[in-house]
Structure 1
């Protein structure tokens, strides 16, 4: 680490994060980093104790020489608006995005700053390492870190360091964020992908490294997980319409599975039971796939992995299939051209 490490701004969009916010901020404040830091929390309209906890953190760090916490309002509750508000309120040359339920590994910031310097990238990111605190969350974490659950996505399952289309969260050069005008606030989801797309269009590099790990807390219920993945699928279809070259077989697998299973059930019940082979085969596949995914977990967690997998696949697929063209047209109309770097 060089003698003069660059100062870092950590930005956090939060909404209803009373369960994890204090622990997430603790992981930031305890970073093994010798540069100056600040933490800017953008507060959405939470209905739990998130605002109260954030206010306590501001008071507790007011006299800190290590890093101070400040807050900014985000009345819309939208993630990209929160990120832009926090960027505007922050000041340092390196900007680290952290979510309110993410826990940074101890050397995350130091490693990211080193990688920015070594690679010349505009944004670096790593692995979204899902870890649960109860049996259901452990089941979801196993599903989210398995190839049967998320395919070959490097930021879920790991992979070799190198250039990437997008990364989880991200550690940015402020100059790149300001050059592109921040996040496009029409992208309620997939805003990371869209911003990284503009950075790449402008000639910048996005860099993935498995050295960077963020502990992620999964959604605490089937309903919450289903909503999360339905939103993912809905907005991935928006991205596909926004940029036609961005779709691949991994993204098409869930909507194909939803369509095939639905057709198999209808035909099987109405015409011939042979058609039930399709949904039966899918069920057998996720049960078989859950066995290696659940190694080392308690029995109750292992038994819930097939439910987590089916919830993720089916919700993502339904979201993709039902994503309205009107939403894509609205987002496309807000398209921001990539701003090229000036000489």
Structure 2
């Protein structure tokens, strides 16, 4: 029995694509239940899921009045009946073999968790959204995350997107940390690894994450990601809950700000800021020019997307530090 849990809130734009990819799975439906745990959506999401549940008895709608993802996951885990538990994201779609490949790999590898590469795409193809898709798939844009870059063989890793677990993993290592609005999957996976568990990424399938399509959407999402990197470390008291790559945008932002403050006392310190900014602009200019020529994308959009992505992420992390120091949360 496979229990699929998908936290949702106001996903009317994406939920139909997600459910259609679930219905096309080759996993036997008699051994499947899909639990959509909804944060009391107000945009019609509940009606869409409700209509599908009337047609397909393995689809269920559960309530999550607190609207927080880890709480949604814990509600789903508690309500689920499966021997295997899988998390999905409504902002994604899945090839027909996604469920069967991960469940098979979980058993054959005797793993605690398995996952696959997460490719980035956009729902609506426009010059701006195609650029955003490219930057969010680029090593300079998102770092060296294995699950974003993909693999050609089975690899043991420290985290995977979403996840497919043996049910007893949650008894052994605990459920989701309900304090974490972001990074809850990474924190759980790091906890499993620290406890001696094994997590693998497999090459035989993948999922497609549907990214935000505007600069505002990218900035808002990555500000939250950056802020919750700091809060995750604060709440868990574990630097190992995350990886070094999560803090690179913060270090870049500090390399600009700190020397500007220091120049009030020692003017030549401004050289550090100017050097850091110049090296960054040269780097994204070269990468953007290459992508523009190779994939026929707008150069100015590429430049702007890199800047928006990195600065919003770094500013989110700095805001997280200020929040901890000022409010203790």
**Residues 116, 303 of structure 1: CA spacing in aligned structure 2 closer, same or farther, 3 A cutoff?**
same
Q: For the residues of structure 2 that align with 1:193 and 1:101, how far apart are their CA atoms?
A: 18
Aligned length: 318
1:112, CA displacement in angstroms?
Answer: 0.4
* Among candidates 228, 239, 257, match of residue 235 of structure 1: 228
Render the CA deviation track for 1:168-209: whole Å, top value 9, x for unaligned: 000111121244342111111111122112322332211122
Q: Is the 8 A contact 2:84 2:167 kept in 1?
A: yes
Change (3 A) 1:247 1:194: closer
Which residue of the partner structure matches residue 198 of structure 1?
Answer: 191
Instruction: Say which SS state the counterpart of residue 95 (structure 1) adopts.
Output: strand
Query: Hey, what's the Cα distance between the residues in 1 that align with 2:290 and 2:110?
Result: 38
Alignment of 1:26-175 (within 5 A): 26-34=20-28, 36-62=31-57, 68-132=58-122, 133-134=124-125, 135-159=127-151, 160-175=153-168
TM-score of the pair, normalised by structure 1:
0.83
SS of structure 1 residue aligned to 2:144: coil
Question: TM-score of the superposition, structure 2-length normalised?
Answer: 0.87
Q: State yes or no: 1:319 paired with 2:316.
A: yes
Asked if the contact 2:70/2:177 (under 8 Å) is kept, the reply is: yes
SS in 2 for 1:168: coil
For 1:315 and 1:42, how far apart are their aligned partners in 2? 29
**CA shift at 1:287, angstroms?**
2.3
Conserved 8 A contact 1:128-1:155: yes
Structure 1, unpaired ranges of 5+: 1-6, 63-67, 331-343
Distance 1:20 1:294, change over 3 A: farther
Q: Could you tell me how far 1:139 is from its partner in structure 2? A: 1.6
Pairwise CA distance, 1:293: 4.4
Residues 281-318 of structure 1, C-alpha deviations (whole Å, 9 max, x = no match): 32231122224445664534x54222222111111111
**CA RMSD between the two structures:** 2.7
Q: CA deviation at 1:214?
A: 0.8
Deviations 1:216-275 (A, max 9, x none): 11113212211211111112223344213456542332112112234577899xx78966
